[in-house]
Chain A
Amino acid sequence: MKWGLLLGMSTLVGLIIMYEWPKLKPLPKKDKLSFFVLVFMGWFLSLFDLPNLPGPTTMIESLFKPFSKMLE
């Protein structure tokens, strides 16, 4: 767990929310909800050690492995 990263990401997320809030306020609830869900997703994912975790890229690579053999 890197505390610096957590602190940096939290500050960044806070800044983004502060910056967007005035423009977000008059918009409908759906807009606000999707904004906060996306922000939370970004903040949450950044807490992991992503480069060494299996994710979408590894999934797609293993999915197309049988075809990739044609190119090797």
Chain B
Amino acid sequence: MLGNEKISAGQMGLLMFFAISASAVTVIPGITGKYAQNDLWLSPIWASIIGYVTVYIAYRLHQLYPKQSIIQYSQTILGSFLGKVVSLFFIFFYLHLTGLIVRGYAEFVVGNFLTRTPISVVMISMVMVAALAVKGGGEVLGRTAQFFFFIFLIPVALMPSLLGSMKLQYLFPVLEHGLKPTFLGAASPQAWFSEVFLMAFFLPFVSNQEKSMRAGMLSVFGTMMLLTIINLFILLVMGRQAGDFLYPVMVAFRYISVADFFQNLDSVVMGIWIIGLYQKISVFYYATVIGTSQLFGLRDYRPLVLPFGILVVIMGFWSVPDQLHVSAFDTFAFPFYGPLVQTVFPLLLLILAYWQKRGQASHAGRTALTDGTES
């Protein structure tokens, strides 16, 4: 079923980095800006806490059940039937999320550039590319992540070209209304950070296990840094207006004009973010497909990739008539739904698992003792 796929801990970390940040950089500054106003650069720091917690939980669970993914050990912890129900829910969760991410990506592309293209064309073409990568397997995903990482950071390198229009006074007054707006602004990003739980699907393939916790923590830290830098950049360029835009970073890059020669850099940034979103979508897609094949104990997951592609596109359309609904879900429902499934639930699993293991250990100890006295 799984073959001998191996990825390194660093590759897994990069995959997680893309899985969080690729869509976060497009929509998070707008959502956070609505609540946190000119303190929006603080929110990713609070939000990242849930990321660290999630990495810790996923790593501990994997330590207790090595070489198993969440689909497999949830059946060991909760029993066969309940474990299968939970696994099915996890698969549904990631399938649904993949669909919404693809939809969000397509709305982003159609809204900014391809305004006259039918949205289904954009969605289907992206799903087809992601399907090819998923068919290639975890190793392909890991290597493309390594290859695209530095390309993905090019927009950060472009930021200094707007130094001229940055105004430091936008930063002040810091914490005008106390910390509460920054916490409200952290609600959405923390749901994004909880997505790092996807590493539970990749940990069984990691060759150097001892480094996987460090890699996960680093990817959360890197995402936090990236989001903080981008939010700070947006704030310095636009001030409090940042929250009024849907994709403020895109708008900011449209301003760039170096010597009247380097212009329209927004299309370059767009291309780079599409690369990132491809990576994110394929990670989610891969988790869905590999989870299904593990749940049903299939020998090969690859035939399932294309049928799941159809389902992903369907999930992207189902009860989402327009862009407004995508951002409403991201802003209001996902901040609770995401962490509940990806952080709180695994935490319960971990507690149960510890409890079970301790029960087994003390039981084993007692029998050993009685054996000793009897002999």
Contact = CB atoms under 8 A, between A and B. Distances in A.
Contacts of B304: 34-35, 38
Contacts, number: 105
Contacts of A42: 307, 310-311, 314
Contacts of B158: none
B345 interface: no
B253 to A, nearest CB: 28
Size range of the interface on B? Answer: 35 or more
The secondary-structure label for the interface of chain A is helix
10 contacts: A23-B303, A35-B307, A38-B304, A39-B307, A46-B310, A52-B321, A57-B325, A57-B329, A71-B187, A71-B331
Interface string B288-325: 00001000111110111011101100110111110001
Nearest to A21: B303
A39 B306 CA distance: 8
B333 interface: yes
Contacts of B303: 20, 23-24, 27, 31, 35
The 3 closest A-B pairs by CB, nearest first: A42-B310, A38-B307, A68-B332
Contact of A50 (B92, B96, B317): B317
A30 B336 contact: no
Contact of A31 (B35, B300, B337): B300
Interface of A: 12-13, 16, 19-20, 23-24, 27-28, 30-31, 34-35, 38-39, 41-43, 45-46, 50-58, 60-61, 63-64, 67-68, 70-72
Interface string B323-345: 00100110111011100000000
A68 B306 CA distance: 35
Of A27, A42, A63, chain B has the most CB atoms within 10 Å of the CB of A42
A35 B311 CA distance: 12
B184 interface: yes
B333 A68 contact: yes
B96 A12 contact: no
Given A31-B299, A41-B311, A46-B314, A64 B337 contact: yes
B318 A57 contact: yes
B302 A23 contact: yes
Contacts of B100: 57
Contacts of A28: 298-299
Contacts of B332: 61, 64, 68, 71-72
